[in-house]
Amino acid sequence: MWQVIYEELRDQGLEIIAVAFDTAGRAAVEPKIRAADIAERPAMLAGLMGWDDALWARQTPPTYPCLIDETHLVAELYGMTNVPQAVWIDEQGRIVRPAESAGTIDMVRHLNRETLELPDAAVAEGAEARNAYIAALRDWVRRGADSPYALPAAEVKRRLRGPGEAEVRAATHVKLGRHFYASGALAQAKRHFDEAVALCPDSWNYRRQSMMLDPENVGQLNAGPDFWAAVDALGDEPYYPPADLAPVR
């Protein structure tokens, strides 16, 4: 659905680069962005991601770059722990909003785990959050540094998550996991991803890999018993922390 926003704003200077964090590579993500898949996307995804009916009806295949980060390098560099998250970078290469949920709220808490349906109230809440995020993005594209959503350098620095010892060790385990997966040693690969999760339990990118590397799971929706057990273990902690769109000046 970001293609719709891209077509609206690209003449004003917006560029989008999508990055999938999947150790299994093209097999895990390519079917999701093919043109043939567009018409077959289940409508429940619109509600889950907060896209309203008008935008959903305009969906088209992406023409912006869609990259696959098998090593999770981009996630490590920008502090991304889940998808979809976004980073805003201006024309000078300066981060003006560090990694945050891209207009997504905690929809998984409301999801019917059998039917994957959402109650109407949750769909409305998700659309409101998505629309607020898109409105902030439009304002930044139009006004640049004068936009109240372009954060001052001090606030960007405060929000950025610098890597600590746990993050560095986890990244090393991810690299080992990738090595073993590429070598066909699935058990060893999963063990290292599990170690990364233990070190960085808030990284759902790492957690997703530990759950989805088995051949029968590659490319499937991460909605098995292990995923729901991990969601339940969050307690009151959010799966998708909402983006803080309060202007800072």
Same domain for 120 and 27, yes or no, is: yes
Task: Show pLDDT as tens, one digit a residue, over the chain (249 residues).
Answer: 788 899 999 999 999 999 999 999 888 887 665 545 555 565 666 666 666 677 667 677 889 999 999 999 999 999 999 999 999 999 999 999 999 999 888 888 888 888 778 888 888 888 888 889 999 999 999 999 999 999 999 999 999 877 899 999 999 999 999 999 999 999 999 999 999 999 999 999 999 988 999 999 888 878 889 999 999 999 989 998 889 998 776
Same domain? For 155 and 172 the reply is no
| In a domain? residue 93 | yes
Domain span at 35: 2-159
- Do 175 and 141 belong together in one domain? no
Angstrom CA distances, 148 to 18, 145, 158, 166, stand at: 25, 8, 17, 34
| 120 and 176 housed in the same domain | no
Shared-domain flag, residues 106 and 228: no
Q: Is the same domain home to 102 and 222?
A: no
Is residue 132 located within the same domain as residue 223? Answer: no
Buried b (16+ CB within 10 A) or exposed e, 46-81: bbbbbbbeebbeebeebeeebebbbbbebbbebbbb
Q: Are 138 and 211 part of one and the same domain?
A: no
| Count of domains forming the chain | 2
Same domain for 185 and 129: no
CA atoms within 13 A on the CB side of 8: 15
Same domain, 155 and 169: no
- In a domain, residue 200? The reply is yes
Same domain (yes/no): 169, 87: no
